[in-house]
Structures are given as C-alpha cells and as structure tokens.
Amino acid sequence: MRPGITGLEDEAITIIREVAACFERPVILFSGGKDSVVMLHVAVRAFAPAKLPFAIMHVDTGHNFPEVIEFRDRCLAGFGLDLTVASVQAAIDAGKVADAPSRNPLQTVALLDAIAENKFDAVLGGGRRDEERARAKERVFSHRDTFGQWDPKNQRPELWNIYNTSLRPGEHFRVFPISNWTELDVWSYIQEHDIELPSLYFAHRRPVFRRGGMLMAETEFLHAEAGEEVFEEQVRFRTVGDATCTAAVESSAVSIADVVAETSIARVTERGATRADDKISEAGMEDRKRQGYF
C-alpha cells in the first residue's frame, strides 16, 4: 500500500475497476454530497483516458437544497455524464409510499424500483465505515437479495483483496469503494485535488432554528414550529442530505483548508452532529439498511 491518501485512492480504484470487469450494468449513486463527489472523481480517474463505463443515478427526495441540485447538474455536465433520477416524489404520486415529514427512509422504495427497472447489478455508493456503527460492519462488496435486503449476520467473509461478485438473478451488490476513508481523508483528498463542492459545505449565514439539540435550516421543506425561534447564524453543513433531516453546524470555515483544519480537531462525528434520522434509535441505520437503504 502506498502512503497516505494515494494508498486509499489505489484501493478505491481497484474496487471500482473490479466492478467494471465483473458486472453488466453498474451504476454510481451521485447526490452532489462530498462523498459521492469524491467517489465520482476517483471513478473517472480510474478509467482515464476512456469514458466512465457506469450509469449515474440520484435518488431525489424532492426535498433537496436547491444549491445542491444546481451543483449536481453542473458537476455532471462538466464530466459529460448523463443522470438518471429516481424520484421519491414520483413514488409518492404513484401511491407506492405515503409521504412523511422526513423523506429520507422513503428513498429505499425509489432506489429499489430504479434498480429493478434498470436491471442494475452493482450500485456504487460513497458510504464509509467510520460514519456509523452498522456501516462499520458492512462489506466492500455487500450482497443484496432479490428484495434488496442486507442480512448483516449472513455476510460473505471478505478476505485479502479478493471480492466474491457471484450473483443470482434479481440480486444485486452495493459496492463501497471509499469504505476505509475517514471524513478527514475525504477532505484531504478534496484539498489535494481542489475539488468543487456545493456552497453549503462552507460557512454562510442563513436562518436556522434549534431542534433536538441540532441546528436545522429554515427552508421551504422544513419550518420552525411554535416555540422554536428562527435566527440567523453563520453555519456550514458537514453532510448534505434531505433538507428535513440534515442539520448545520456553527462554523467560520470558508475554504477547503479551513474545513480540513476544523475537521481534524472535531470532537463530534459528522452524523452525530448533523443527522436527525440516526438519533431515532441505536440501530436506526442497521434497520434501514436491512430494508434496502444505501
């Protein structure tokens, strides 16, 4: 293994190329969030000077920050890549799921539908093991049954760098090339390659309110309730997801270097600081993953 971030990128490239070699219809999940941006950059570099041999898909809750959607489209246009959108709104309109205050868990339905419809057999995601304790147990090549379910107690052991890519009809794999990267590694890579990100990742002033100890943004999708006071604060987002369950943190980091400095001394994990949906129960992520979540 080569030192530093280069070694982690080597590992990610090896995984991404293995997907290209072993699967018929791979797709990269791309939300415009930092992890998916980094994964996409690595993937494009893995096949240069040839074109990326994967489809790109975004599971859109319909409750995304407009800056992120604008960035998503501009970033893909820059790479000359086409996007498939799996829409949670469309799933709601079709009566497949009932709308909920947070649409984050509803993404599973739209995702599984799109996987079946497009016959995707490998779905690459930017999940990292340091994010969350259920993810810390997941394989790099994570097998899903015909219902898209993850069975944590019956995972295929993963040895050396040999990946078992065996699949039966209707099943698929979730593949996590940056499994072994930490939040700081991701930011170091962004810094080294001067990668553009949505403006939300950097300090800006916006109206926010406190809920459950977290700073939520006042947006068209989420409003302060009675007793919650809206005020303006200088914040940034450490993770960018559905606007209804992604919280901001107070920050003065306006550049990539500032964020790297801030991340290296952070005392709270990124999901602990910003994800309302993970606080529901100790096994919130595991339960969602079992049902087919990312």
Partner 1 sequence: MRQLRFATIGSVDDGKSTLIGRLLYDSKSIFEDQLEHVEAVSKRRGDEYVDLSLLTDGLRAEREQGITIDVAHRYFATPARSFVIMDCPGHVQYTRNMVTGASTADLAIILIDARHGVVEQTRRHSILTSLLGVPHLVVCVNKMDLVDYSEARFKEIREDFENFAARLNLHDVTFLPISALKGDNVVDRTPDLGWFEGPTLLHHLENVYTASDDNRIDVRFPVQYVIRPRTTEYHDYRGYAGTVAGGVLRVGDEIVVLPSGLSSTITGIDSADGPLTEAVPGAAVTILLADDLSVTRGDMICRPHNRPRVVQDHEAMLCWLDSNAQLQTNKLYTLKHTTRSARAKVSEVRYVLDISELHRKEPTGPLAMNDIARVVIHTAEPLLRDDYEHNRVTGSFILVDESTGATAAAGMLLPPRE
Among the residue ranges 59-67, 129-137, 222-230, 253-261, the one whose residues contact partner 1 (CB under 8 A): 129-137
Of 80, 82, 98, 168, the residue at the interface with partner 1 (CB under 8 A) is 168
CB 279, CB 212: distance < 8 Å: yes
For the CB of residue 255, give the shortest distance to partner 1 in the complex, in Å. 22
**181 backbone dihedrals φ, ψ, rounded to 5°:** -90, 150
Nearest to 55 by CA among 20, 107, 10: 20
Of 25, 97, 133, 291, the residue at the interface with partner 1 (CB under 8 A) is 133
60 touches partner 1 (CB under 8 A): no
Among the residue ranges 66-74, 89-97, 147-155, 231-239, the one whose residues contact partner 1 (CB under 8 A): 147-155
Closer residue to partner 1 (CB): 103 or 288: 288
Instruction: Report which residue type is found at 114.
Output: A
The secondary structure of residue 131, as a DSSP letter, is: S
291 touches partner 1 (CB under 8 A): no
Closer residue to partner 1 (CB): 48 or 226: 48
260 touches partner 1 (CB under 8 A): no
Site string for partner 1, 18-57 (x = CB under 8 A): x-xx--------------------x--xxxxxxx------
3-state secondary structure of 216: strand
Nearest to 202 by CA among 256, 276, 152: 256
CB 114, CB 84: distance < 8 Å: yes
Q: How far, in Å, CA of 250 to CA of 229, rounded?
A: 16
77 touches partner 1 (CB under 8 A): no
10 touches partner 1 (CB under 8 A): yes
205 touches partner 1 (CB under 8 A): no
Of 164, 191, 199, 219, the residue at the interface with partner 1 (CB under 8 A) is 164
Show the CA angle centred on residue 115, arms to residues 288 and 12, nearest 5°. Answer: 75
Of 35, 113, 121, 130, the residue at the interface with partner 1 (CB under 8 A) is 130
Q: How far, in Å, CA of 237 to CA of 262, rounded?
A: 12
Of 2, 74, 96, 119, the residue at the interface with partner 1 (CB under 8 A) is 2
**How many Å is the maximal CA-CA distance in the chain?**
56
Beta strand 26-29 with 55-60 is parallel
Q: How far, in Å, CA of 88 to CA of 244, rounded?
A: 14
For the CB of residue 8, give the shortest distance to partner 1 in the complex, in Å. 7
283 touches partner 1 (CB under 8 A): yes
Q: How far, in Å, CA of 275 to CA of 240, rounded?
A: 9
Q: Scanning residues 219 to 258, which ones bind partner 1 (CB under 8 A)?
A: none
**174-184 residues labelled b (16+ CB within 10 A) or e (exposed):** bbbbbbbbbbe
For the CB of residue 236, give the shortest distance to partner 1 in the complex, in Å. 18
Q: How many CB atoms lie within 10 A of CB 74?
A: 12
What is the binding site for partner 1 (CB under 8 A)? 1-4, 6-11, 13-14, 17-18, 20-21, 42, 45-51, 129-130, 132-137, 143, 152-153, 155-162, 164, 166-168, 171, 179-180, 182, 184-185, 266-269, 272-273, 282-283, 286-287
